[in-house]
Structure 1
């Protein structure tokens, strides 16, 4: 007796191309499944590090402070406390390699009354003392020497920044006499001058005045303007620590342990917040206090608040961005099932023959499972290895579970499909009942999910990804696909009946085949429809989200600026007429409006009372247009039409009652006004709680000589930010001039760019587009698999028709008439499902985390993003159909017509 041939080896040798394609599909799917969560982790980590790093090293450090101790060596006590702190904090938080910053500072500065020192506005300078451990390694002496010990009764030795000494007028060797309230005089001698090697070094965080002379302001009285004076910090050596309390009426020891924010992980933010709580007010804080013996030791950090904020932002954005990957995963699962169905139907005759010869269903499925394992498992392992290698990140479990799930689906899809075919080879009533029950279950789940999301909204911030928000669009798309699968044969049948009396049989024959279905089962398959509907729905919903985000950012920018562009004059200055004229002629300007603003004006009411208001004078028509664009202070410009002999019409804010008032503008005579409408704000002023009054500039022209030039220029349109800034600098000078602030230029395009600069938002937007692209590719693959599934039967049919006189062009038209309606119906169904998703779920979606500012909850239903995604995917499907039809129509008759062929 001959030895039976090995099953797996024989099958792989028989169909090597099919095995290679299966392995390639498994490799791609597993790679994407493992790469997506790792890419999400990397994006979230990068966004977290950027967010925390933007606050600087002071906010991301653990800080401790304590009153000074008496007795012993102060430097040794500082080192001992640092060791306890480092041991406690490093056990739960990664510390930055740059090292801790610690030392002692005097509690208060001393005034230097020497008249020879520089006094910007008559106020003498102030000097504070600071000891920083290791400061000598971060500076370079430019004159003198580093301060050392001083004998009792002699001035304490200090070192000053060279820039500070030059600004205040201090030289090496100068003895500075300091006075303080309630404390006797103290003296300090300048032993040396230094410059910092790197002023941006985190070592100097919070101690910037030790590197330069800072110009502070002192308020002399409630009604007097603040006066400027010099303030600087002098460094001392460890020998002077015992004398700091005399200089500053007390001293304080401090330690700052910078946390290595680049080592923090976005998936462990909750645990990191708990660890920080333990450090600042928990068991670690108690252990450090006990170990150091400093009862008054205070440990605090702003990092916990920042991490809690980052966790809320990440949680809110994850709930939105999870919809895109879920849609791509759904389409990928459909593609795998479609590939398994294609393979099962290609081998149906072989498997039924084995079953007829006595092979059991379980035995056949085991052999198919072994065959798939040799094809799928190596490819899946390679895909997972590539994802783990190319996208390194600390968390691996999520990626491993995703890769394992895809591998399991790819491995079991074919044996399960085969088991169903062998169990019920002819379909029949049982299969119909099972399909109906499954569709009813999907419908019930869809109604439940959508109802719950509409009722309760999205899960609260900080609660993680909302599963209902993720599942609801997929369930709606699935329900739409199932409904379309039921309706499509009838709808295409109507088209076939319409085409029946028309000249030529090509259109009718193609539509009839499309309505009947093609392939071995001669029934339209739900899987290709589901893939296309899912792809169009998820792509359209994602594009709608991004479109709404862009629209909301523009609305926020316009609301904040007062239009699309704003130029504000210098403090107590005005805009020259040449600038107003030139700016109004810039390309893209649609409405240009100069505005005169008088702040804190006294307005007298009819009863004799008075109120302080901000007065805005502008052209009513242009002002109404900008109020509409900004979404603030809308009104009818006809209301500001002046009537001769009556007070000027005015728009007032809601806190003013209707009536007549009088204003005294620019110190002139009182101007009578009357309120004609109440508005909710003004685009000319933002961020002020004062009462506003808007007057028309036409009737108030006689006031302009007293008011001078306009204070602000507003415009709407598509202005170029750089061009406007260059024009403003040409007429108004640089934006800042010395210590006095200069003009201010803001545009909506610049504000929108600033809102979208957040790395977390950018990562979410990139993820949306990547998932939309991946979904489109999977949908295209499903179309190709569908065409391949029906290809042999269609080719044989064309060959038979060619023997009856069918021309090649007619064959191409027949294929298009059969395949295109299904793709177009699927794209249209996906578009309608996307509209339903936006209408049902849109009101519950909060886009504020993606916008970067508080905006009203809800998605905007716009046609453009839905139409773009629908047309794009429909076009891809049509191109795939055209390509396959061109190939099939050129096949030779003799290739397809063979004796005994049952196709």
Structure 2
């Protein structure tokens, strides 16, 4: 047994033992760095937020614009264009309304996969195949043709009408008249009232009669319910197709469910129909291929076969205009897509440059810190990991908030494009500074870097030349093939090449200007230009990126502004050609315009030239040998005014001197202009012209023309005659049936003038058109409006990013510039001279970049313009080609140049007032 060692005596203090090592926690890197530079962190987060918001919002804005354009396009085609229409013959074994309802349920059940129906908007019923002439002597019979009455059954009619008198019809006992309801407007036109029995003329189905038991009024005649129903809400004035056409009244009356059998007897048969309006509000462009497939299957595919089996109607036939309309709408969207994508592509390019500049600025500020970390044993992967952590904390919250905001502000069902664009932008924002740091921490390679830069620039120049040559040689991708990458890349490559070229030219040019300024007495210009020759990339290193940013912004803005201005001009010209001038008033066939109207229209404010014209489309031309030609149209007008109209419209121009003079003698030939198809047959012997009223003239061809403003869009054989000689032989030509006006004529004012000048009955028969209203109608397409909004939004975003690039560039050079100014201040430099020095250094580069961008935009239009087709944005077919328009190019160039100058002035005012003591420090290496 061992004894324990004795302890210390009582009252003694034990000697101190070994002190345990103190445990220290590592400093949190990310939090420390963010606290050290809170302003820079907030600016980086704001930049990422804005960039991601634009990237995520653009696809959703494009989807919304395309969806709205599709819906409006279908709506403009008519109330029943976006409908499925099913028809079948009547069942042989009796008819009932319930059987029609059951077929409707079958048709409804097979929809909903790729498209839906408008709830409660279905129309179904039965219509007689033929109308019957009524023998009642009290009915009106214009031109001795009796009234024609058809019968029909509409299940939903009571829901869309209101009874004006009587009751709704029911069945009728055999041998008695069938009960019908007639529209109140038709009853007033035909002098029919409740209780009237309408007797039909005998036919192969036997005699028949109908008793009017009720009169109804449509709740809304513009309701799509009545869209393709024939003469159900009113009586229609029809033309009887005989050798001499005659007018007669036609209308349809409605029977009740019990009168379906009598309907077949009255009409010699019947057609059961079901109209199912498709819900265009639920259609989306990105789902259009699947929707088109589903509709095609419903109309004439496996679904249609199944519907025949389910409905027990082997003769069920389904038709719809939707497949063709879908194809047309998609072709329009694809045709507009290349021009729509130019603006966003420019924004993406400028934003990319801004991220690179921001990373370069941060790298310049932290290069010493990063090199020190590497020298003290830090590894590059570890440093990059920490920098990625900084970027993640700065970028990710703003990117997530921007994505959520874009999704909520621009609702659309498709998420993938927005998420992909946001993810790509976020990834670039995350990696911009870490990649820059990796470059700074890599070993220097010395002289070969200059050769690598030269090779890269040559590759860019080669790619630009190849893109321009390819677009010029083959044109842009045909409509329907989507965005043409070459058309998008060519302007951007031109801007990039211009930036690289300007970066090469600018230093020696600025150096030459500095040497020239050095010969003078002042020193400010020499110092500023000398610093500009060294570049503002930070520490005197030239930077290509700010030049590329400004050139991209100006080139994109100028090219897009040129496109939109050309679209407006082409639309105005197309509208003018469609109308035949700036204003047109046409009388109905066989009528003439009142003299008071033509005089008042010519005197209307804004009308520069008013021209009354007489036309005759019933004329015939006979050759010298008596051989006749097909029917032609004769246009009689004052030669001088008509020539001015043709020049303004750009169609059928001619020299009015050709029609000078006239037929002094009774049988002297009248000088005439022949359309090209007739001019090929014309001879100097002249022709004999027989007008529609029987008058005859001799015509002598003096020239030819291609088209005429008097007949917009017509390709018929036409002859233009001078008014003076013709009036001497044809008195009817003194009563014009057309009036054309040139000048800024307001559509509302012209219509008001017509209402004030002529009676209402006459005004209703006149056709009034203005180029203003026609151009507005062409430009009403949401597809064009969306393209314009996206472009101008892209211009604004590009300008902001370009200014940001300029400010970042100035900020990179600010420390060195401020130190130099402080040293110069100690040598007597005044504050105003310091601001002037900053302006002399920064303004030449900004102004040169803006002007260079304008020249590049003009070059892009000149090189790519011949291949650009503006028809999709104009709204009608126009000749392919785009010419340089100085005004929009100059406007965009001057606007961005002014913004750049203001940014430089603001930065100069801030930098020029810095205190000397804050810049001059002992041991400062700047």
**Normalising by structure 2, what TM-score?**
0.93
SS of residue paired to 1:512: helix
Which position in structure 1 is the counterpart of 2:569?
551
Matched position secondary structure for 1:473: helix
Q: Is the 8 A contact 1:65 1:252 kept in 2?
A: yes
Q: Equivalent residue for 2:187?
A: 165
Q: Does residue 803 of the first structure (1) align with residue 826 of the second (2)?
A: yes
Counterpart of 2:558? Answer: 540
Look up the match of 1:710. Answer: 736
Secondary structure of the equivalent of 1:393? coil
Aligned mates of 2:605, 2:99 — CA distance in 1: 68
CA contact under 8 A between 1:596 and 1:711: conserved in structure 2? yes
What residue in structure 2 maps to residue 395 of structure 1?
414
Partner of 1:899: 922
Matches within 5 A, 1:30-429: 30-71=52-93, 74-179=96-201, 181-207=203-229, 209-221=231-243, 224=244, 226-424=245-443, 428-429=446-447
Aligned partner of residue 118 in structure 1, secondary structure: coil
Q: Tell me what 2:14 maps to.
A: none
- Matching residue of 2:4: none
- Alignment partners' CA distance in 2, 1:730 and 1:72: 59
Residues in 1 aligned to 2:838 and 2:299: alpha-carbon distance in whole angstroms: 72
The CA deviation at 1:733 is 4.0
8 A Cα contact 1:571 1:742, kept in partner: no
Report the counterpart of residue 18 of structure 2 in structure 1.
none
Instruction: Note if 1:674 corresponds to 2:685.
Output: no
Q: How many residues align?
A: 896
**Which deviates more, 427-436 or 829-838?**
427-436
- Describe the shift of the 1:721–1:292 C-alpha distance in structure 2 as closer, same or farther (beyond 3 A): closer
CA deviation profile, 1:602-623 (whole Å, cap 9, x unmatched): 4443222344433333333322
The secondary structure found in structure 2 opposite 1:80 is helix
How do residues 616-765 of structure 1 correspond to structure 2 at under 5 angstroms? 616-642=635-661, 647-654=669-676, 655-656=678-679, 657-659=682-684, 660-663=686-689, 670-700=696-726, 702-703=728-729, 705-734=731-760, 737=762, 741-765=764-788
- For residue 769 of structure 1, what is the aligned residue in structure 2? 792
TM-superposed deviation, 1:406: 0.7
C-alpha separation in 2, matches of 1:592 and 1:101: 49
In structure 2, relative to structure 1, the CA distance for the partners of 1:219 and 1:470 (3 Å cut) is: same
Post-superposition shift, 1:780? 1.3
Unaligned stretches of 5+ residues in structure 2: 1-21
* Worse-matched range after superposition: 753-762 or 204-213: 204-213
Distance 1:127 1:584, change over 3 A: closer
CA deviation after TM superposition for structure 1 residue 240, in Å: 1.9
What residue in structure 1 maps to residue 507 of structure 2?
Answer: 489
Cα distance, 1:585 vs. partner? 4.2
Query: What is the alpha-carbon distance in structure 2 between the residues aligned to residue 337 and residue 585 of structure 1?
Result: 63
Distance 1:322 1:894 in 2: 51
Instruction: Point out the more displaced range, 152-161 or 856-865.
Output: 152-161
CA offsets per residue over residues 172-201 of structure 1, 9 Å max, x none?
Answer: 233322236422112222232222333333
CA shift in 2, pair 1:590/1:71, >3 Å: closer
Q: Verify: 1:878 aligned to 2:901, yes or no.
A: yes
Deviation per CA, 1:541-565, whole angstroms, max 9, x where unpaired?
Answer: 1001011111211221222223223
* 1:203–1:618 Cα change, 3 Å: closer
CA distance 1:19–1:427, shift in 2 (3 Å): farther
SS of 1:789's equivalent in the other structure is helix
Q: CA deviation at 1:169?
A: 2.5
How far apart are residue 51 of structure 1 and its match?
1.3
Q: Is the 8 A contact 2:152 2:252 kept in 1?
A: yes
Shift of 1:837: 1.4
For residues 301 and 252 of structure 1, what CA distance do their matches in structure 2 show?
17
Change (3 A) 1:720 1:27: same
Residue of 505, 527, 532 corresponding to 1:514: 532
Post-superposition Cα deviations, 1:561-580, rounded to whole Å, max 9, x if no partner, equal: 23223333454444455554
From 809, 813, 833, give the equivalent of 2:836.
813
When structure 1 is superposed on structure 2, of 271-280 and 136-145 the one drifting more is 136-145
SS at match of 2:447: helix
Q: 2:847 aligns with which of 820, 824, 829?
A: 824
CA shift in 2, pair 1:479/1:754, >3 Å: same
Question: What do residues 406-437 of structure 1 show as CA deviations (whole Å, max 9, x unaligned)?
Answer: 1001110000011111114x573243233233
Question: Do 1:519 and 1:793's aligned partners in 2 also have CA atoms closer than 8 Å?
Answer: no
Bigger Cα displacement from structure 2, 153-162 vs 584-593: 584-593
Corresponding residue of 1:568: 586
2:262 & 2:735 partners in 1: Cα distance?
Answer: 58
In 2, distance between residues paired with 1:198 and 1:715?
37
Partner of 1:839: 862
CA spacing shift, 1:141–1:555, aligned 2, 3 Å: closer
Check conservation: 1:666, 1:706, Cα contact below 8 A.
no
Map of 2:29 onto structure 1:
7
What secondary structure does 2:541 align onto? coil
Q: Secondary structure at the match of 1:853?
A: coil
Residue deviations 1:799-833, cap 9 Å, x none? 11111111111111111111011111111221222
Matched, 1:596 2:614: yes
Distance 1:699 1:429, change over 3 A: same
CA RMSD of aligned residues (A): 2.2
Distance 2:190 2:300 in 1: 43
Asked if the contact 1:443/1:479 (under 8 Å) is kept, the reply is yes
Conserved? CA contact 2:94–2:261, under 8 Å: no
Question: Which stretch of the first structure deviates more once superposed, 63-72 or 259-268?
Answer: 63-72
8 Å CA contact 1:95, 1:260 repeated in 2: yes
Q: Post-superposition shift, 1:668?
A: 8.2
Deviates more, 1:638-647 or 1:619-628: 638-647
**How much has 1:253 moved relative to structure 2?**
1.7
C-alpha distance 805-3 of structure 1, shift in aligned 2 (>3 A): same
TM-superposed deviation, 1:701: 5.5
Out of 623-632 and 881-890, give the one that drifted further. Answer: 623-632
Aligned partner of residue 722 in structure 1, secondary structure: helix
- How far 1:669 sits from its partner (Å)? 6.7
Residue-by-residue CA offset, 1:62-89 (whole Å, 9 max, x unaligned) = 1111112233663333233222221222
How far apart, CA to CA, are the structure 2 residues paired with 1:103 and 1:573? 42
Partner SS for 1:230: strand
Report the TM-score when normalising by structure 1.
0.95
Q: Is the 8 A contact 1:26 1:410 kept in 2?
A: yes
User: C-alpha displacement at 1:703, in angstroms?
Assistant: 4.2
Distance 1:352 1:317 in 2: 51
Shift, 1:634, TM fit: 1.3
CA–CA separation in structure 1 for the residues paired with 2:254 and 2:696:
59
Cα 1:856–1:115 change in 2 (3 A) is same
Higher Cα radius of gyration: 2
1-side partners of 2:27 and 2:670: how far apart? Answer: 103
Do 2:537 and 2:809's aligned partners in 1 also have CA atoms closer than 8 Å?
no
Equivalent position SS for 2:146: coil
Counterpart of 1:862 (choices 885, 890, 896) is 885
